[in-house]
Amino acid sequence: MKKLHKNNIAMFIDCDNVSSKYIESIFEDLSQYGTVNIRRAYGDWKDKKLLGWENVLHEYNIKPIQQFAYTKGKNATDIAMIIDIMDILYTKELEAIVLITSDSDFTPIVTRILSDGLTVYGYGESKTPMPFVNACSQFIYVEKLSGLHNETTIENNTTNHNDGSITNYVGNNYDIKKDYKLINLLKQGVEITADEQGWADVKDMSMYIRKNSSFSQVNYGFKKMGDLIKALDLFDMEYFGDRKTQLMIRIRDKRNK
């Protein structure tokens, strides 16, 4: 069994299916997980639609991989990416692989990567089919990630969403306090990771949820899990350490008092 090298990440970009305008926010988000040592972007660079990607390749040190459209209707980009991913699985020591695409054709390769014990971070546009979203260890919609990236401060984000209204990120008439699927997911995470008094460390709860779903609080308009939990107002919250950095947060279902 090969030993994973902590924090090494390989990134593969399907330039045909995601806009280049999201790349800055994606790199910012990935910085919390490790170092993106391998960066490859795939597409037919003769296609004018990829001009936006060409303009950012040098800035982010991304290696372009040319794929000609040999046959109309056949996606050579997908095939090339999958071949390279399989090669890297056997030749490099990695902790995670990043797939930037909105194409569900990559769902089987996600399953294959996970079977090797690696984490798969998926980034795609809102059009991404659910089979691919659900297959990833964590999937983030780039439109929502970009929206958070453009916020001036995380405090403004929290203030704007304490009433449960996050229509700018999820959609019109969305009320986070009525999203029972989300609420049940969080409550299950708390229940599984709680101590005898019903208190759960948010980090432990978050880890459990992410191991069992493709969940990310970013998709609900929050940069931190603690901000999302605060907006729901369903849990008692205790802070330990520096309140500004929130070194530790414990939560408990208010019904368990």
Q: How confident is the model at residue 107 (pLDDT cuts 50, 70, 90)?
A: very high
Whether residue 183 sits in one domain with residue 116:
no
Residue 207 sits in a domain whose CATH number is: 3.30.420.610
Answer yes or no: do 65 and 141 share one domain: yes
Task: Say which range, 77-86, 107-116, 196-205, 246-255, has the weakest mean pLDDT.
Answer: 246-255
User: DSSP letters along 191-245, please?
Assistant: HHH--TTS-EEHHHHHHHHHHHS---GGGGT-SSHHHHHHHHT-EEEEEES-TTT
β-strands 119-124, 138-141 pairing: parallel
Q: How many Å apart are CA 134 and CA 122, to the nearest integer? A: 10
Rounded to the nearest integer, the mean pLDDT of the chain is 85
* Residue that finishes a domain, picked among 130, 149, 168: 149
In a domain, 87, yes or no: yes
Give me the mean pLDDT over the 70-90 stretch. Answer: 79
167-181 pLDDT, tens digit each: 334 555 778 888 999
Domain span at residue 102 reads 8-149
Q: How many independent structural domains does the chain possess? A: 2
Instruction: Read off the CATH number of the domain in which 77 is found.
Output: 3.40.50.1010
Q: Which helix (H) or strand (E) holds 65?
A: strand 63-66
15 and 61 both lie in a single domain: yes
Q: Is residue 31 part of a domain?
A: yes
pLDDT digits (tens, 9 = 90+) for 213-225: 899 999 998 988 9
Q: Is residue 3 assigned to a domain?
A: no
